[in-house]
Amino acid sequence: MEKVKLGDFVSIKTGKLDANASNTNGRYPFFTCANEPLKIDNYSYDCECVLVAGNGDLNVKYYNGKFDAYQRTYIIESKDTKNLLNKYLYYLINSKIVKLREDSIGGVIKYIKLSNLTEIKFEPIKAQEQKKLVENLDKVQAIIDIREKQIEQLDELIESQFIEMFGNPVLNEKLWKTDLLGNFGSFKNGMNFNKSDNGYKIRFLGVGDFNKGSIINNIELLNIIDINEKPSKEYMLEDKDIIFVRSNGSKELVGRSTLIEGIKDEITYSGFCIRYRNNTKELNTRYLIELFRNKEFFDYLKKDSRGANINNINQQMLSNLKIVLPPIELQNQFANIVKQIDKQKLEIQKSLEEMEKLQESLMNKYFG
């Protein structure tokens, strides 16, 4: 069957509001470039659609209801839902025949143009076939959602255990010793590269990888990039390194952190990130990453001396960050508890990966 252009069958709009319009008390989702459903008190859209982030992670999301969106988010709707289902459209854009990342422009931060969407070519199928395809993929996605929820609940258990053992790390009601983070380790900004670079392939930790959880322990989770030459040792990540998001279009991502654990392969990291390397035996890095994940401490990290939210962080700010220092024995005890919880997470993660492989297999079958 002859292929057709997506632009002939859909209408595409863009969001209007600035990302700062979101708030924590709103009723409606506000989709940013990271496609994260923040909340606002009002909305501009009420529809069934596919949301595509125009830059950053290039996420694709299906949504049906009231919402608003950042100006660099594309809002895609079928012109004729009797012949082109919006949910089918979502799976189509997520399939391998659509190469949004490959066709994007920019270096570390990717950008897609409107034509990257309108010029997508696909083979049209009958609405009844679309419906059956969507039903099958939805069933698999439902199981994936359950597994992801189970992992989320185990993460909440870790957070609860942290509070029980150490208390609020900002209020420090347990009166632990405190000191500056910079007294215990060193910092280094990541490297920049251009899309045109080539010659040396290497795994790369970018801002988009911070949605994979607080621990990166699987090399396959990271993308491979092409750069002109092998990075110097100072730009290579090591086991137990903690990486922070230094700056990003979405203020919500700034300050997020992840821990490299058990990976011995070569990995470099984005210039939009800062690496912290622990150089002391007074800190257990597993305790430290959970400290940075704690909501109260994360909010504290992201405010300046006036209490205002910041748009980016730097090495000096992190170095001057005051942290609580419980006895290392207690930190190690906490780390051992987390290790046991991690074993449960690993089993669920294996099941999740099996379902994701099934999902990929079905996507290949349906979309080629």
- What was the pLDDT predicted at 72? 86
Given this model, what pLDDT does residue 228 score? 87
Contact indicator for 74, 80 with CB cutoff of 8 Å? no
CA-to-CA distance for 282 and 107, rounded, in angstroms? 39
Q: Residue 107: is its pLDDT beyond 80?
A: no
Tokens of residue 219, six digits: 């090399």
- Of the pLDDT bands very low, low, confident and very high (cuts 50, 70, 90), residue 223 is confident
> Dihedral of the CA atoms 135, 90, 86, 64 (nearest 10)?
90
**Average pLDDT rounded to a whole number, residues 25-32:** 86
Dist. CA 313–CA 56, nearest whole Å: 18
Q: Taking 80 as the threshold, does the pLDDT of residue 162 lie above it?
A: yes
Domain 177-325 in the same topology as domain 4-124: yes
- Give me 184's structure tokens: 């215990």
Higher pLDDT, 192 or 51: 51
Task: Residues 177-325: name the CATH superfamily.
Answer: DNA methylase specificity domains (3.90.220.20)
C-alpha separations of 292 from 158, 238, 343 in Å: 13, 19, 22
- What are residue 113's phi and psi, to 5 degrees? -95, 165
**In this predicted structure, what is the pLDDT of residue 126?**
96
What is the residue-wise DSSP string for 31-49? Answer: E-TT--EEEES--SEEEEE
Indicate whether 214 pLDDT > 90: no
Alpha-carbon torsion 115, 118, 120, 121, what sign?
negative
Work out the mean pLDDT of the chain and round it to a whole number. Answer: 89
Query: Nearest Cα to 56, choosing from 299, 253, 188?
Result: 253
**3-state DSSP helix/strand/coil % of the chain, to nearest 5:** 40, 25, 35
Q: Shortest CA distance to 314 belongs to which of 276, 280, 351?
A: 276
pLDDT of residue 22: 73
Residue 270: phi and psi, rounded to 5, are -70, 150
Contact 36, 252 (CB under 8 A): yes
Q: What are the structural domain ranges in the chain? A: 4-124, 127-167+328-368, 177-325
Residue 254 has pLDDT above 70, yes or no: yes
Q: pLDDT of 266-309, one tens digit each?
A: 999 999 999 999 999 999 999 999 999 999 999 998 887 666 67
Q: In this structure, which CATH number among 3.90.220.20, 3.40.190.10, 3.90.550.10, 3.40.50.1950 belongs to the domain 4-124?
A: 3.90.220.20
